[in-house]
Amino acid sequence: MHSLGVLYETLPTDTQQAILQELLQKQQEKLEDVAFCIACQQAKDENDFLSDEESQAFIENLQR
């Protein structure tokens, strides 16, 4: 086993869980970013853009 894995196994359970939770959160953020990029590319490919009203509503929601 890789030395990092051995080190991880020596950590207390609560520390292991905190590390896993952080890793999962980071991966979820990456997946959301990728999904957003894919959706944008699909909209561009289909020439399916937001109306002015939809764009404004989207921007307002980002500011919350």
Please state, in angstroms and rounded to a whole number, the distance separating the CA atoms of residues 52 and 4: 51
Q: Is 19 within 8 Å of 8 (Cβ atoms)?
A: yes
pLDDT of residue 64: 65
pLDDT of the chain along its 64 residues, tens only? 589 889 999 999 999 999 999 999 999 999 999 998 898 888 888 887 778 888 888 888 887 6
pLDDT of residue 27: 95
pLDDT of residue 1: 58
Cα 59 to chain centroid distance, Å, stands at 19
